[in-house]
């Protein structure tokens, strides 16, 4: 394994489970010191034991700007600097356009879009205060480009997060700050396991994914670390789709299974 992040400090929201945990693990193997954030107190309390001494864990609700700022502040106060920000935390409450409640819409948009906004701005301000370049990577979704049934809040908020990446890349380029997104397709995580365990759903997905399988979280982490590394030093404002060629075949109609 390379040492692309030797002596660098990274923040990973949602960094103790799913894709975020794999990003944390990969950063550590490449020499980084990492501040991870999660709303789950139990996961936060065991993070150092799980990941080792080069990890600091902070409980944070990423839908609250002050919480996200506290995570960035923890990186600077603990390790003296910040080099990379990964906006990973996300999720949704399912709903269709005609039926989703205002509360579920707000929850999903805040978790996916507001959190990315707070993380991007807090990290950018930290980089600028130090007068140094930096890299920001947001985990968006294939649904930033492709709609799906029962996902109106998720698709809209992920599309917003992807455009936020482009807007941020435009505004922050003069400061040497690069901003990119990774848009995964189906990934084998606990979050997707509840959906794919419904009879027929897994098969419906596989019919549409040319590579014939879900991604492992480590494959998404590899793409995210590439964009954050010096290997991508001239890449900014991009939304890298990592989906096993799923986008070229279209989304399955899940209404027979979930309606």
Question: What's the pLDDT at 259?
Answer: 66
Cα 218 to chain centroid, rounded: 13
Question: What's the pLDDT at 9?
Answer: 98
Domains annotated for the chain, with CATH where assigned, are: 9-189+217-242 (3.40.50.720)
Of 79, 114, 118, 154, the catalytic one is 154
Give the residue ranges of the chain where pLDDT is below 70: 1, 259
φ/ψ bin of 52: left (φ > 0), alpha (ψ from -120 to 50), beta (otherwise) = left
| pLDDT, tens only, 41-65 | 999 999 999 999 999 999 999 999 9
Paired strand residues for 248: none
The alpha carbons of the chain give a radius of gyration, in whole angstroms, of 18
- From residue 111, alpha-carbon distances to 54, 192, 206 in Å are 27, 16, 28
Rounded to two decimals, the pTM is 0.95
- To the query of whether residue 154 is one of the catalytic residues in this protein, the response is yes
Interhelix angle 152-172/102-109, rounded to 10 degrees, is 30
- From residue 148, alpha-carbon distances to 88, 116, 160 in Å are 21, 21, 16
């Amino acid at each position: 394994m390379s040492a692309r992040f030797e002596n660098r400090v990274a923040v990973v929201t949602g960094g103790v489970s799913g894709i975020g945990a794999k990003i944390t693990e990969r950063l550590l193997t490449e020499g980084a010191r990492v501040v991870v954030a999660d709303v789950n107190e139990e996961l936060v309390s065991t993070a150092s034991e799980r990941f080792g001494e080069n990890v600091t864990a902070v409980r944070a609700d990423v839908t609250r700007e002050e919480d996200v700022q506290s995570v960035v502040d923890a990186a600077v106060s603990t390790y003296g600097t910040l080099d990379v920000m990964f906006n990973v935390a996300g999720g949704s409450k399912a709903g269709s356009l005609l039926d989703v409640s205002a509360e579920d819409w707000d929850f999903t948009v805040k978790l996916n879009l507001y959190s990315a906004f707070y993380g991007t701005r807090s990290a950018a301000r930290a980089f600028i205060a130090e007068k140094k370049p930096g890299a920001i990577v947001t985990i968006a979704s294939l649904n930033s480009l492709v709609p799906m049934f029962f996902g109106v809040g998720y698709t809209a908020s992920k599309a917003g997060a992807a455009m936020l990446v482009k807007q941020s890349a435009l505004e922050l380029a003069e400061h040497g700050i690069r901003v990119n997104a990774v848009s995964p397709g189906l990934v084998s995580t606990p979050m997707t396991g509840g959906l794919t365990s419904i009879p027929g759903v897994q098969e419906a997905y596989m019919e549409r994914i040319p590579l014939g399988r879900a991604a492992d979280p480590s494959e998404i982490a590899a793409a995210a670390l590439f964009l954050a590394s010096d290997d991508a030093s001239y890449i900014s404002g991009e939304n890298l789709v990592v989906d096993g060629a799923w986008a070229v075949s279209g989304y399955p109609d899940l209404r027979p299974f979930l309606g």
